Chains A and B, each alone.
Chain A
Protein backbone atom coordinates (compact mmCIF):
# COMPACT_ATOMS: atom_id res chain seq x y z
CA UNK A 1 0.00 0.00 0.00
CA UNK A 2 1.29 3.45 -0.92
CA UNK A 3 2.36 5.63 1.99
CA UNK A 4 4.13 8.90 1.40
CA UNK A 5 3.85 12.60 1.99
CA UNK A 6 5.67 15.85 1.24
CA UNK A 7 6.13 18.31 4.08
CA UNK A 8 8.00 21.18 5.61
CA UNK A 9 10.27 20.81 8.63
CA UNK A 10 9.08 23.20 11.33
CA UNK A 11 11.65 22.58 14.04
CA UNK A 12 12.39 20.49 17.08
CA UNK A 13 10.92 20.36 20.55
CA UNK A 14 10.25 17.72 23.17
CA UNK A 15 7.09 15.99 24.26
CA UNK A 16 6.42 13.69 27.18
CA UNK A 17 5.82 10.02 26.59
CA UNK A 18 3.23 7.92 28.39
CA UNK A 19 5.70 6.99 31.11
CA UNK A 20 6.60 10.64 31.61
CA UNK A 21 9.93 10.49 29.80
CA UNK A 22 10.89 13.44 27.62
CA UNK A 23 11.12 12.51 23.94
CA UNK A 24 12.93 14.74 21.42
CA UNK A 25 10.75 15.26 18.34
CA UNK A 26 10.97 17.01 15.01
CA UNK A 27 7.69 18.56 13.94
CA UNK A 28 6.87 18.38 10.24
CA UNK A 29 3.96 20.18 8.63
CA UNK A 30 3.03 17.58 6.04
CA UNK A 31 0.35 17.66 3.42
CA UNK A 32 -2.38 17.83 2.48
CA UNK A 33 -1.03 16.44 -0.78
CA UNK A 34 -2.91 15.51 -3.92
CA UNK A 35 -2.30 12.61 -6.23
CA UNK A 36 -1.32 14.23 -9.51
CA UNK A 37 -0.53 11.18 -11.59
CA UNK A 38 -0.30 7.41 -11.41
CA UNK A 39 2.67 5.96 -13.25
CA UNK A 40 1.99 2.49 -14.60
CA UNK A 41 4.25 -0.23 -15.85
CA UNK A 42 2.55 -0.41 -19.23
CA UNK A 43 2.57 3.28 -19.96
CA UNK A 44 5.64 4.66 -18.18
CA UNK A 45 7.80 1.59 -17.72
CA UNK A 46 7.61 1.79 -13.93
CA UNK A 47 4.95 1.94 -11.28
CA UNK A 48 4.72 4.95 -8.98
CA UNK A 49 2.45 7.57 -7.47
CA UNK A 50 3.10 11.25 -8.10
CA UNK A 51 1.86 13.66 -5.47
CA UNK A 52 1.87 17.46 -5.28
CA UNK A 53 2.23 19.79 -2.30
CA UNK A 54 1.79 23.47 -1.49
CA UNK A 55 -0.79 25.45 -3.41
CA UNK A 56 0.50 28.54 -5.18
CA UNK A 57 -0.79 31.19 -7.58
CA UNK A 58 -1.18 29.95 -11.11
CA UNK A 59 1.31 32.47 -12.48
CA UNK A 60 4.06 30.94 -10.35
CA UNK A 61 3.99 27.78 -12.47
CA UNK A 62 4.82 27.23 -16.11
CA UNK A 63 2.01 26.55 -18.53
CA UNK A 64 3.15 22.94 -18.81
CA UNK A 65 2.91 22.40 -15.09
CA UNK A 66 -0.53 24.00 -14.93
CA UNK A 67 -1.72 21.81 -17.78
CA UNK A 68 -0.37 18.69 -16.07
CA UNK A 69 -2.31 19.51 -12.91
CA UNK A 70 -5.47 20.53 -14.76
CA UNK A 71 -5.61 17.05 -16.23
CA UNK A 72 -6.19 15.72 -12.72
CA UNK A 73 -8.51 18.69 -11.96
CA UNK A 74 -6.20 20.01 -9.23
CA UNK A 75 -5.22 23.52 -8.12
CA UNK A 76 -1.68 24.76 -8.98
CA UNK A 77 0.81 22.93 -6.77
CA UNK A 78 4.43 23.96 -6.39
CA UNK A 79 6.15 20.70 -5.57
CA UNK A 80 5.73 17.34 -7.25
CA UNK A 81 7.39 14.15 -6.07
CA UNK A 82 7.09 10.52 -7.09
CA UNK A 83 6.94 7.48 -4.83
CA UNK A 84 7.70 4.06 -6.29
CA UNK A 85 5.01 1.55 -5.38
CA UNK A 86 3.53 -1.50 -7.04
CA UNK A 87 0.18 -1.14 -5.29
CA UNK A 88 -1.01 2.46 -5.69
CA UNK A 89 -4.55 1.99 -4.27
CA UNK A 90 -5.21 5.69 -4.94
CA UNK A 91 -6.44 7.51 -8.01
CA UNK A 92 -5.63 10.82 -9.61
CA UNK A 93 -7.09 13.78 -7.73
CA UNK A 94 -7.17 11.96 -4.38
CA UNK A 95 -6.16 13.81 -1.25
CA UNK A 96 -3.55 12.24 1.02
CA UNK A 97 -2.71 13.57 4.49
CA UNK A 98 -0.97 12.62 7.73
CA UNK A 99 -3.77 10.24 8.74
CA UNK A 100 -2.02 7.50 6.76
CA UNK A 101 0.72 7.41 9.42
CA UNK A 102 0.15 5.86 12.82
CA UNK A 103 1.75 6.74 16.13
CA UNK A 104 4.34 4.13 17.03
CA UNK A 105 5.07 3.08 13.43
CA UNK A 106 8.41 3.76 11.74
CA UNK A 107 9.06 6.14 8.85
CA UNK A 108 11.97 7.35 6.74
CA UNK A 109 12.39 11.10 6.29
CA UNK A 110 14.36 12.43 3.34
CA UNK A 111 15.60 15.97 2.96
CA UNK A 112 18.45 18.16 1.76
CA UNK A 113 21.06 18.61 4.49
CA UNK A 114 22.27 22.05 5.51
CA UNK A 115 25.11 23.29 3.31
CA UNK A 116 28.43 23.59 5.13
CA UNK A 117 30.42 25.09 2.24
CA UNK A 118 34.03 24.09 1.62
CA UNK A 119 34.90 22.11 4.73
CA UNK A 120 38.21 20.63 5.87
CA UNK A 121 38.95 17.02 6.67
CA UNK A 122 38.35 17.41 10.41
CA UNK A 123 34.77 18.60 9.93
CA UNK A 124 33.96 16.65 6.79
CA UNK A 125 35.39 13.22 7.58
CA UNK A 126 36.11 13.37 11.29
CA UNK A 127 39.91 13.45 10.95
CA UNK A 128 41.71 14.08 14.21
CA UNK A 129 43.95 16.88 13.00
CA UNK A 130 47.59 17.21 13.92
CA UNK A 131 49.39 17.49 17.24
CA UNK A 132 48.98 20.72 19.14
CA UNK A 133 52.20 20.75 21.14
CA UNK A 134 55.80 19.50 20.89
CA UNK A 135 56.93 22.21 18.49
CA UNK A 136 54.28 21.60 15.87
CA UNK A 137 53.02 24.46 13.77
CA UNK A 138 50.65 24.91 10.83
CA UNK A 139 49.11 21.43 11.15
CA UNK A 140 46.45 21.78 13.81
CA UNK A 141 43.58 20.67 11.56
CA UNK A 142 45.62 19.20 8.72
CA UNK A 143 44.74 15.89 7.05
CA UNK A 144 48.14 14.26 7.69
CA UNK A 145 49.77 12.15 5.02
CA UNK A 146 47.60 11.53 1.96
CA UNK A 147 49.72 8.86 0.27
CA UNK A 148 53.07 7.04 0.10
CA UNK A 149 56.11 7.89 -1.99
CA UNK A 150 57.26 6.67 -5.48
CA UNK A 151 55.06 3.63 -5.13
CA UNK A 152 52.26 4.33 -6.06
CA UNK A 153 53.45 7.82 -7.04
CA UNK A 154 49.96 9.19 -7.14
CA UNK A 155 47.01 9.79 -4.88
CA UNK A 156 44.28 7.19 -4.96
CA UNK A 157 40.93 8.23 -6.35
CA UNK A 158 38.36 8.81 -3.69
CA UNK A 159 40.94 9.77 -1.04
CA UNK A 160 39.07 11.67 1.62
CA UNK A 161 40.07 15.32 1.54
CA UNK A 162 38.62 18.77 2.12
CA UNK A 163 35.77 19.78 -0.14
CA UNK A 164 32.15 20.73 -0.36
CA UNK A 165 30.04 19.38 2.47
CA UNK A 166 26.31 19.30 3.05
CA UNK A 167 23.46 20.39 0.77
CA UNK A 168 22.97 16.82 -0.37
CA UNK A 169 20.11 14.39 -0.19
CA UNK A 170 20.08 12.62 3.18
CA UNK A 171 17.68 10.01 4.53
CA UNK A 172 16.96 9.54 8.19
CA UNK A 173 15.74 5.99 8.49
CA UNK A 174 13.49 4.22 10.96
CA UNK A 175 12.25 7.24 12.87
CA UNK A 176 9.40 6.51 15.23
CA UNK A 177 6.19 8.48 14.73
CA UNK A 178 5.46 10.17 18.05
CA UNK A 179 2.42 12.25 17.21
CA UNK A 180 -0.02 12.79 14.38
CA UNK A 181 -2.35 15.79 14.25
CA UNK A 182 -4.69 15.43 11.28
CA UNK A 183 -6.44 18.73 11.94
CA UNK A 184 -3.25 20.82 11.84
CA UNK A 185 -1.49 18.53 9.33
CA UNK A 186 1.35 17.91 11.74
CA UNK A 187 3.45 14.84 12.23
CA UNK A 188 6.14 14.45 14.89
CA UNK A 189 8.99 11.97 14.60
CA UNK A 190 11.47 10.94 17.24
CA UNK A 191 14.89 12.46 16.68
CA UNK A 192 16.32 14.79 14.09
CA UNK A 193 15.61 15.19 10.39
CA UNK A 194 17.93 16.51 7.67
CA UNK A 195 17.74 20.11 6.52
CA UNK A 196 17.05 23.56 7.92
CA UNK A 197 13.80 24.69 9.50
CA UNK A 198 11.38 25.38 6.69
CA UNK A 199 13.18 22.88 4.46
CA UNK A 200 11.31 20.46 2.26
CA UNK A 201 11.17 16.85 3.45
CA UNK A 202 9.62 13.68 2.10
CA UNK A 203 8.12 11.14 4.50
CA UNK A 204 7.87 7.48 3.54
CA UNK A 205 7.05 4.25 5.27
CA UNK A 206 10.27 2.85 6.74
CA UNK A 207 12.13 0.70 4.29
CA UNK A 208 14.08 -1.40 6.76
CA UNK A 209 11.65 -2.27 9.54
Chain B
Protein backbone atom coordinates (compact mmCIF):
# COMPACT_ATOMS: atom_id res chain seq x y z
CA UNK B 1 0.00 0.00 0.00
CA UNK B 2 2.84 2.38 0.83
CA UNK B 3 4.15 1.63 -2.63
CA UNK B 4 0.94 2.68 -4.34
CA UNK B 5 0.85 5.88 -2.32
CA UNK B 6 4.34 6.97 -3.34
CA UNK B 7 3.62 6.06 -6.96
CA UNK B 8 0.59 8.33 -6.90
CA UNK B 9 2.67 11.18 -5.50
CA UNK B 10 5.38 10.58 -8.11
CA UNK B 11 2.79 10.81 -10.87
CA UNK B 12 2.18 14.49 -10.20
CA UNK B 13 5.79 15.52 -9.78
CA UNK B 14 7.63 17.51 -12.39
CA UNK B 15 9.44 15.60 -15.15
CA UNK B 16 13.21 15.81 -15.58
CA UNK B 17 14.51 18.67 -17.65
CA UNK B 18 15.98 17.09 -20.78
CA UNK B 19 18.25 20.10 -21.38
CA UNK B 20 20.31 19.21 -18.32
CA UNK B 21 23.00 16.58 -18.87
CA UNK B 22 24.37 14.35 -16.16
CA UNK B 23 26.15 16.53 -13.62
CA UNK B 24 29.10 15.64 -11.41
CA UNK B 25 30.77 17.50 -8.57
CA UNK B 26 33.71 19.48 -9.91
CA UNK B 27 32.11 20.16 -13.27
CA UNK B 28 32.50 23.64 -14.67
CA UNK B 29 29.05 24.56 -15.87
CA UNK B 30 27.12 27.41 -17.34
CA UNK B 31 23.54 27.50 -16.12
CA UNK B 32 21.08 29.36 -18.34
CA UNK B 33 18.35 30.76 -16.11
CA UNK B 34 15.15 32.35 -17.38
CA UNK B 35 14.53 35.69 -15.74
CA UNK B 36 11.30 37.65 -16.02
CA UNK B 37 11.74 41.41 -16.05
CA UNK B 38 8.35 43.07 -16.12
CA UNK B 39 6.73 41.29 -19.04
CA UNK B 40 9.95 40.49 -20.84
CA UNK B 41 11.79 37.23 -20.43
CA UNK B 42 15.52 36.96 -20.87
CA UNK B 43 18.19 34.40 -20.18
CA UNK B 44 20.98 34.92 -17.68
CA UNK B 45 24.06 32.78 -17.47
CA UNK B 46 25.59 31.65 -14.20
CA UNK B 47 29.04 30.15 -14.68
CA UNK B 48 30.87 28.27 -12.00
CA UNK B 49 31.87 24.95 -10.46
CA UNK B 50 29.43 22.41 -9.08
CA UNK B 51 30.37 21.91 -5.45
CA UNK B 52 27.41 19.80 -4.28
CA UNK B 53 24.59 17.65 -5.64
CA UNK B 54 21.53 16.58 -3.74
CA UNK B 55 19.44 13.74 -5.15
CA UNK B 56 16.05 13.92 -3.51
CA UNK B 57 14.08 12.88 -6.59
CA UNK B 58 11.60 15.68 -7.09
CA UNK B 59 13.70 18.04 -5.02
CA UNK B 60 17.04 17.42 -6.72
CA UNK B 61 19.38 20.38 -6.42
CA UNK B 62 22.87 21.33 -7.47
CA UNK B 63 25.01 24.09 -6.00
CA UNK B 64 27.23 26.18 -8.26
CA UNK B 65 30.05 28.31 -6.87
CA UNK B 66 31.72 31.07 -8.79
CA UNK B 67 34.14 33.84 -7.95
CA UNK B 68 32.56 37.20 -8.69
CA UNK B 69 34.40 40.25 -9.96
CA UNK B 70 36.22 41.31 -6.80
CA UNK B 71 37.18 37.88 -5.54
CA UNK B 72 33.98 37.31 -3.61
CA UNK B 73 32.60 33.79 -3.78
CA UNK B 74 28.97 33.48 -4.87
CA UNK B 75 27.06 30.25 -4.48
CA UNK B 76 23.70 29.51 -5.97
CA UNK B 77 21.59 26.40 -5.49
CA UNK B 78 19.35 25.42 -8.38
CA UNK B 79 16.38 23.10 -8.37
CA UNK B 80 17.13 20.64 -11.12
CA UNK B 81 13.50 20.25 -12.20
CA UNK B 82 12.67 23.94 -12.05
CA UNK B 83 11.08 25.27 -15.23
CA UNK B 84 13.17 28.42 -14.77
CA UNK B 85 16.31 26.59 -15.88
CA UNK B 86 16.58 26.81 -19.64
CA UNK B 87 19.63 24.58 -20.01
CA UNK B 88 22.92 23.63 -18.44
CA UNK B 89 26.16 23.35 -20.41
CA UNK B 90 29.02 21.32 -18.96
CA UNK B 91 32.24 22.99 -20.11
CA UNK B 92 34.83 20.90 -18.28
CA UNK B 93 34.98 17.96 -15.89
CA UNK B 94 37.11 18.57 -12.80
CA UNK B 95 39.15 15.84 -11.20
CA UNK B 96 37.83 15.50 -7.67
CA UNK B 97 37.88 12.79 -5.03
CA UNK B 98 34.88 13.71 -2.95
CA UNK B 99 31.16 14.34 -3.40
CA UNK B 100 30.95 17.70 -1.67
CA UNK B 101 33.62 20.26 -2.53
CA UNK B 102 33.05 22.60 0.39
CA UNK B 103 36.80 22.77 0.92
CA UNK B 104 36.95 25.09 -2.09
CA UNK B 105 35.36 27.80 0.05
CA UNK B 106 38.55 28.12 2.04
CA UNK B 107 40.78 28.25 -1.02
CA UNK B 108 41.43 31.30 -3.12
CA UNK B 109 43.29 32.09 -6.32
CA UNK B 110 45.45 29.35 -7.79
CA UNK B 111 44.70 26.97 -4.91
CA UNK B 112 41.03 26.94 -5.81
CA UNK B 113 41.63 25.39 -9.22
CA UNK B 114 40.68 21.84 -10.15
CA UNK B 115 42.61 19.63 -12.56
CA UNK B 116 40.72 18.62 -15.64
CA UNK B 117 39.49 15.06 -15.96
CA UNK B 118 39.61 13.58 -19.45
CA UNK B 119 37.53 10.53 -20.15
Q: Which residues does A use to contact B, with CB under 8 Å?
A: 10-11, 13-16, 19-20, 22, 27, 29, 179, 181, 184, 186, 188, 197-198
Task: List residues of chain A with CB within 8 A of the CB of B59.
Answer: 14
Contact of A10 with B8 in the complex, beta carbons under 8 Å: yes
Once the chains are docked, how many angstroms separate the CA of A179 from the CA of B12? Answer: 9
Contacts A13-B12, A184-B11, A186-B12; is A19 near B5 (CB within 8 Å)? no
For residue A181, which residue of chain B has the nearest CB? B12
Once the chains are docked, how many angstroms separate the CA of A148 from the CA of B18? Answer: 68
Task: List residues of chain A with CB within 8 A of the CB of B11.
Answer: 184
Q: What are some 7 contacts across the A-B interface (CB < 8 A)?
A: A10-B5, A11-B5, A13-B58, A16-B81, A16-B83, A20-B83, A198-B2
Q: Is the interface of A mostly helix, strand, loop or mixed?
A: strand
A15 CB, min distance to chain B CBs, angstroms: 7
Count contacts on B: residues with CB < 8 A to the other chain.
19
Task: List residues of chain A with CB within 8 A of the CB of B55.
Answer: none
Task: List residues of chain B with CB within 8 A of the CB of A197.
Answer: 5
Contact of A13 with B9 in the complex, beta carbons under 8 Å: yes
Contacts A20-B84, A22-B79; is A11 near B12 (CB within 8 Å)? no
Contacts A14-B58, A19-B36, A20-B34; is A198 near B5 (CB within 8 Å)? yes
Once the chains are docked, how many angstroms separate the CA of A27 from the CA of B14? Answer: 14
Contacts A19-B36, A20-B84, A22-B82; is A13 near B13 (CB within 8 Å)? yes
Once the chains are docked, how many angstroms separate the CA of A181 from the CA of B12? Answer: 9
Contacts A20-B34, A22-B82; is A184 near B8 (CB within 8 Å)? yes
Chain B 1-46 residues near chain A, CB threshold 8 A: 1-2, 5-6, 8-9, 11-14, 34, 36
Residue of A16, A22, A27 near B9 (CB, 8 A) is A27
Residue of B1, B12, B34 near A188 (CB, 8 A) is B12
Once the chains are docked, how many angstroms separate the CA of A16 from the CA of B58? Answer: 10
Contact of A15 with B8 in the complex, beta carbons under 8 Å: no
Task: For the A-B complex with A10-B8, A29-B8, A186-B12 known, give 16 more contacts whose Cβ atoms are closer than 8 Å.
Answer: A10-B5, A10-B9, A13-B12, A13-B58, A15-B12, A15-B13, A16-B14, A16-B81, A20-B34, A20-B83, A22-B82, A27-B8, A181-B12, A186-B8, A188-B12, A197-B5
